[in-house]
Structures are given as C-alpha cells and as structure tokens.
Structure 1
Amino acid sequence: MKRLRYFMAAAMFTIGLNATAQCSFHNDAFKSGEFLSYNLYYNWQFVWVKAGTASMYTVQSNYKGKQAYRASLTTRGNSKVDNMFVLRDTLLCYSSLDMEPLYFRKGAREGKRYTVDEVFYSYSGGKSNISQHRINNDGEHSWEKHSFSYCVYDMLNIFLRARSFNPEGWKNGYDIDIPIADGNSVNPAKLRYLGKEKIKADNGKKYRCLRLAYMEKDGNRYKHIVDFYVSDDQNHIPVRLDMFLKFGSAKAFLVGMKGIRNPITALVN
C-alpha cells in the first residue's frame, strides 16, 4: 500500500511554476483541525480482506518560527495482513500558509524494510532549492542538494496544494505534469482526469466524485499507480482510492471526516 499516501491530488495548474513566485498558492479547501479516516482493503487470492486503516490530520502550527500547516498521514496494516505484508508508514509535512512546501518526512516499514526520507525546501535567487536525506534499511545516510527554476513537491505537500485547484473546464484525458521529490531523487509524474462518478464511502454515504489517475514515469512510458476519487466540491476530499501495487491491489474508502472547511455539496442520495 505504498502508494496510498502518495496521492490524493488533483490539478489544473502548471506545476512548473517559476520559482521566482516563491511557489505560493491559495488554499480554499481545508482548515486547521481537519481529520480524515479510511479503511484499507487488500486483494488476497481474489478475495478482498480488511487490511488496516489510514488517517490524515492537518493543523496550523509553526515551522522555524513561522506560521505553517502541519499535516500527518499514517497507514497501519492489521495483524491478519501482517502475515502477508507488514505496513507501518508515517508521513509528515510542513507547508507555509501560502502553500509553499517547507519540509517532508516519510518513515516507512514495508515488509522487512524500513527507510526514512526527508526533503528540506528553501527559496532564493529565483530558485526552488531542496536538500534530500535518506536513511536506508542498513542505517546508512545519504544527502543530496539541488536547485530548480520551477517548483518541486513531495507526495504530501502536493496533496495539500492540489486540493484547491479548480476543476472547471477539465476534459476527459486532461494531463498535468508534477515533479515529485523523495529522499534521493526527483521523478516525473502526472495526473490524468477521467471524468465523474458516484462513489459510496464506508460511512454509508454516496458522493459525486472526480476520478483521476496518478502515473509515474517508468523508462519511456508512464506507469499507472492509482485511481483516486475526490469529492466534486470545494473540499476535494479523497473518498476512494484504487491502488495498483507490486504485490497486488488495494483500495481505501473514506470512513469519517471532521473539521471540514466548506459545505459538502458533493453528497448525493
């Protein structure tokens, strides 16, 4: 379920925004105190089984003395799935109140491996500067530094930012490129809009959703990683995710939400 925390993002905005604009953006989708929870399901030998839970919490905090949003995303597999694949992930990010990425950390235990990725952001000289840190499964540390003339994101900061994008005017098959950083690389990725569908969540309610596909570049082609369905309203809450994993397939369904900023107009009968 590695890809669950990657992508809950939507876009109608050129991510290659010139860094002289300091990569700022508006936020009209969430507020401090938002809490989202999910049930995870895993397809095991053609049977869908409850695999665990996930939750995301966003709160206004501070980063290096400045006001910022802090978001954390946690995924937990249950004991039944531990026999097949151990999943213990915790992600953390800081974003300025103007949605500039400031910091990202991912601690991931997947199977027998445990790794830590960090990305530190700064903006100067018309550049987006990142310092990347990885601790591999053997405890070895690696560091890299890079500067770009465009904005760079990680899997969690792009989620915060993309929820405020305006989907009006999207057409089926519309693509947008996204550069995503982790502890030792910056990789091309893209989102593709695939229309609207009605989706039933695990809270028993049904929502009108935008369907989007997240793809990562693999060689000369893009590999389909996840389809996700976000509420077709100003909140853009992820309601369901269909994940295509190396070890099978998985789904996540919304269970509960608290502290939502805007009216939930995507709710249908």
Structure 2
Amino acid sequence: MKKCLFILFMLLPLSMSAQSKCGIENTAFNGGEFLAYDLYFNWKFVWFKVGTASMSTVTSTFKGQKAYRTSLTTRGNSKLDGVFVMRDTLLSYCSAKDLTPLYFRKGALEGKRYYVDELWYTYPRNNCHLRMHRIDADGEEHWNDKEYAECIYDMMSIFLRARNFDASGMKKGDIIPLPISDARSLTNSWMTYRGKENYKIDGTNEKFRCLVFSFYEREDGKNHELIRFYVTDDNNHIPVRLDMFLSFGSAKAFLKTYKGVRGPMTSKIK
C-alpha cells in the first residue's frame, strides 16, 4: 500500500482522548455557509438535469456541546423519477471545536424504499462507540451498539473532515483510510488524491483551481470508486463538482451558488 498519511494518528499519545484523536482543525468553513448544486444524470450518452441539492451549515449545540449542524438535501425531478426516485435528507452534528462526529441521520427515499439510519457517537475508554438505529422500508426497527479502537465516521462527517485536509504535501496516488459506518455495518473505505485540475462553473465566468479526490470502498472483493470530487484549492475547499458512480448509472453535481464562505476564494482563476 502506498504511503498512508493517516498513519500520523498512530503516533498520537495514548493519553489523548478518543474524541480529540478523531477530530481535525477546521479551517474550511463557519456557520452560515450555504452551497447549492444542480444534479445531472447520464442516459444513453446524454446528460439531463434531474434535480437539485443543497448543503447548509449553522452553528448550533448538541447535548449541551457547541456544534456545527450540517444538512444536505437532494431532490430529483420528474425526469429522474422515471428512472429512480431520490429524496434524501442527511443531517450531521460535529463538534465545533474540532469536527469530531456527534450524531448522524439519513432519511432516504431511494426507488421504492424509504429508510432511516441514525448514529450517536460517544468516546469511552479512548474508543469510538456507536449507538446505531435503523428503520427498514417495512417499518421494522433495529438497534445495535458497536465500539471500535479506531475512529469511525459517517457520510457527512467524513465530507466535512475531507474539506480540511492539507494537500500541500500530498502526491498523486496518496491514500487516506477513512472507515465509514451506517446503522448496519462498517465499510472498508478510503480516499485517493488525484492531483489538481482547473474547473469552470457552467454558465458563469468563474474558473477555479481544484484539488481532486476519489472516494472508494471495497465490497465483494473488489474496489469501487463511488465519488470523485473537486474542491477549491484554497482554505475553503468548497466542492464545485462531484462525479457519482451509481449502481444504475452516472450522475454529476455542479455548484450553482454559494454564500457565507469563510475566507477569500484565492483559487479563483482570473
């Protein structure tokens, strides 16, 4: 395996709490950030606009702890509904101090299935404990508890974490292990750094220098690229494009509008 940047965690002193160990310094965003995207789906070599997505982050509290509350909603339109119904709402609370995961919820209508996943994080005995709750499409509820010695994340907290990676010392092909869990199981997953590319937001004159990452998971003995995303090469690390490789085809999300950005957009190419 190529050099793993994440090995720094293995060098942390044992006296450090698991919550601190699972955090990362946030230099990318503040409360009040809002990002909006257009969604496109590929059908027989033609790209169709099939919906929208939006992500908002506000300053909040979770169980008395100051936190960032981040929500992501995706809404397919009638064109996508003819192929695959998608109505997803994801919610995440992470510590405002260091983005340590605190809570995650996903409510998803995907095809004909509606299900809910929830995770509550605690950090006893220098470990990461997950209280897991799932409501299946048939309404059956499942509760479970699991504890891990390593840090575990979810779909949202890992996204916020990735926005704060320092790529200045990265090389193409560098791998960052990132174990992710839902309310059913733990996934063997990681990110790979793909280098830099320039990207122009469609319909505008805005062009950005971007860092490119791919998110992979291993399933059935094979590696699967799930998402390739482009983030601005500045401290904000705003995702301007996401390529999603789905079981039923390919989709893309393109940044449409943004506001409440934390710092100067120094990645903008004039």
Q: TM-score range by the shorter chain?
A: over 0.9
TM-score scaled to structure 1, two decimals?
0.92
Compute the displacement of 1:20 (Å).
3.0
User: Which one has more relative contact order, counting CA pairs under 8 Å at least 6 apart?
Assistant: 1
Q: CA RMSD in A?
A: 1.6
Q: Which residue of 2 aligns with 1:161?
A: 161
- What does the per-residue CA deviation read over 1:38-75, in whole Å, with 9 as the maximum and x for residues that have no partner? 00000112210001000000000011122111000000
SS of corresponding position for 1:241: strand
- Structure 2's unaligned 5+ residue stretches are none
- SS of aligned partner of 2:152: coil
CA distance in 1, matches of 2:148, 2:243: 32
> How many Å separate the matches in 1 of 2:219 and 2:57?
32
Hey, what does 1:20 align to over in structure 2? 17
SS in 1 for 2:47: strand
Q: In structure 1, what residue type is equivalent to 2:87?
A: R
TM-score with structure 2 length normalisation?
A: 0.92
**1:127–1:147 Cα contact (<8 Å) kept:** yes
Give 1:101's aligned residue. 101
* 8 Å Cα contact 2:196-2:209 kept in structure 1: yes
Match of 2:136 in 1: 136
Q: What stretches of structure 1 move > 2 A for 4+ residues in a row? A: 11-21
The CA distance in 2 between the partners of 1:190 and 1:214, in whole Å, is 6
User: How many aligned residue pairs are there?
Assistant: 259
Counterpart of 2:220 in structure 1 is 219
Identity of aligned residues (%): 53
SS of 2:23's partner is: coil
1:251-266 alignment, distance < 5 Å: 251-266=252-267
Structure 1 residue runs without a partner (length 5+): 1-10
- Are the equivalent residues in 2 in contact too, given 1:196–1:211 (CA < 8 A)? yes
Alignment correspondent of 2:45: 46
Q: Is the Cα contact below 8 Å between 1:14 and 1:177 reproduced in 2?
A: no
Q: Which has the higher helix share?
A: 2
Residue equivalent to 2:29 = 30
Once residues 73 and 5 of structure 2 are traced to their aligned partners in structure 1, the CA distance between those partners, rounded to angstroms, is 27
- 1:65 counterpart residue number: 64
1:181 counterpart residue number: 181
- Whole-Å separation in 2 of the counterparts to 1:53 and 1:180: 25
SS in 2 for 1:202: coil
